[in-house]
Amino acid sequence: MLKGISPMLSPELLKVLCEMGHSDTIVIADGNFPAESMGKDAIVIRMDGHGVPEILEAVLKVFPLDQYVENPVNLMEKVPGDTADISIWKKYEELIAKEEPRGISVIGTLERFEFYEQAKRAYAVIATSETSQYANVLLQKGCVL
């Protein structure tokens, strides 16, 4: 254990976050996301038993968001006509507003299949047990200033 570092951040996850360079991406995936197939060229970190918000909160404490792009945070858009509840996005906005000086303006959305394409190029995918649909988050790393 380390002082000031959330115990949510395992040694494996801390190593991956440190290895990532500017503009690399990481997906924090809900339990329905095809983490292994989307992450076949990435590092897949299993965090079963945890939800996306708690992991996102811990990651944002140590992970600089890319300051050179408009949307270093992207969420998967809901498919038109789908009645899934996306209220979890409000929690994401709260967490991001707390850690990111630019506030929630850094949050964008990607159409489902575009999200999948971006996820295939991610450096890492964190597989969670999150039960909310459309709870996937794609983060792009920035520089420590």
Catalytic residues, which ones? 22, 66, 116
Count of all residues that appear for the chain in the document: 145
Collapsing DSSP states into helix, strand and coil, what is residue 104?
helix
- Residue from 58, 59, 27, 64 nearest 44 by CA: 27
Give me the helices (H) in 79-133, please: 88-99, 112-120
Nearest-angstrom CA–CA distance, 43 and 27: 10
| Residue showing tokens 């047990």 | 129
d(CA 101, CA 98): 8
